[in-house]
Structure 1
Amino acid sequence: MQIIVEEAIEAYQGQRLLEATNAAYAALQNDPQAWLELLEERAEWDVTLADGLEGL
């Protein structure tokens, strides 16, 4: 019984994390300046994805 309760709690916590993450992204998308800044930062990081990995 304790294992079932622990698994249910973990699943609930995971669901809450996803809901909070979705809410945060929705709020970010509702702020055009903040969303643009995020997209710009992502573009900067995308340049580093293949650094030094061409030969692998």
Structure 2
Amino acid sequence: MTGFTILRDMQHYVGKIRTIRNEIRTQRFLNALPPDIRKDIGWPDMYAERRLRGN
């Protein structure tokens, strides 16, 4: 295993962590929006589940 392989693997790992953190940040931001705006943009499709349950 060369130094370049280790570096490439490390960059790949850091990239995955960054992607996961960005997804979590986006979910938090969207969940902080008022319910009517979340419904308008379809985030998430929990509104379909509510309709099925009758809420």
Q: TM-score normalised by the shorter chain: which range applies?
A: 0.5 to 0.7
Normalising to structure 2: TM-score of the pair? 0.63
Identify which of 34, 38, 47 aligns with 1:35: 38
CA RMSD of aligned residues (A): 2.3
User: How many residues are paired up?
Assistant: 44
More helix as a share of residues? 2
After the TM superposition, list the runs of 4 or more consecutive aligned residues in structure 1 that deviate by more than 4 angstroms: none
Normalising to structure 1: TM-score of the pair? 0.62
Unmatched 5+ stretches in structure 2: 50-55
Identity of aligned residues (%): 14
Larger RCO, structure (CA 8 Å, separation 6 or more):
2
Unmatched 5+ stretches in structure 1: 45-56
